[in-house]
Structure 1
Amino acid sequence: MFVKRFEDAIPYEAPNHRGVVGLRLQGFEEGGPKNQWVGLSQFLPGGGAGPDSTPFEKVYVVLEGHMTVIASGHETVLGPLDSCTIPPGEVREIENRTNHMCKMLVVIPYPPGA
């Protein structure tokens, strides 16, 4: 078992993101997960990401607040404990359209060669 305390989470910058602080909860460390990494994204009001896509799928789980996810021409609002999977290559945009912070877990496979 590999335990990592929240106090030891390392901040990271995600490309094409705005108004967000990301913390890497698991991944990219000795003894950590081998297939994917887990981040905690804390979006300020008006914060978001995209539009863009990645060559691998990702999973979003909203822990607190609400996040609007725009993909394939459809908008969906995710609330606490709602989740979605974004398939590889799908263009998505996410926006915190509320006046409250949105906290979201992000699970993403490692990029090739990581």
Structure 2
Amino acid sequence: MKVTRFADAKPYDAPNHYEMRALRLQGFQPGGPEHFWTGLSHFLPGGGAGPDASPLEKVYVVLTGEVTVRAAGEEVVLGPKDSCCIPGGEIREVKNLGNDVATMLVVMPYPENKA
């Protein structure tokens, strides 16, 4: 079992994200998951990501607040306990259009050249 205490979660920089702080909860460490990693993203009001795409699919689970996700010509507002899956290669954009911090769990497979 690999336990990461929230107090020990390490921050990381996510490319093309703004007004967002991210913590790695699991992955990229010995004894952790072998096929995926999980992160926790805190989007400040006005914060977001994209538009861009990665070759990897991703799952977003909103824990608090709301985020607007645009992908494949569709726009949806996700609130607490809502989730979505973005296929690999799909251009997506995430924005926190509200005045509260939005917190989102992110689950992604490792890139082929994981560090």
Please confirm whether the aligned pair reaches a TM-score higher than 0.5, indicating the same fold: yes
Say yes or no: does 1:89 pair with 2:89.
yes
Say yes or no: does 1:79 pair with 2:79.
yes
Amino acid at match of 1:95: K
Say yes or no: does 1:16 pair with 2:20.
no
Secondary structure of 1:54's counterpart equals coil
Deviant stretches of 4+, over 6 Å: none
Q: Identity of counterpart residues, as a percentage? A: 62
RMSD, aligned CA: 0.5
Secondary structure of 1:44's counterpart equals strand
**Cα offsets for 1:2-55 (capped at 9, x unmatched):** 111111100000000000000000000010010010000000000000000010
What is the aligned residue count? 114
- Deviation for aligned residue 1:73: 1.3
> Which stretches in structure 2 are left out of the alignment for 5+ residues?
none
1:42-81 residue pairs with structure 2 within 5 A?
42-81=42-81
Give the whole-Å Cα distance in 2 for the aligned partners of 1:55 and 1:113: 13
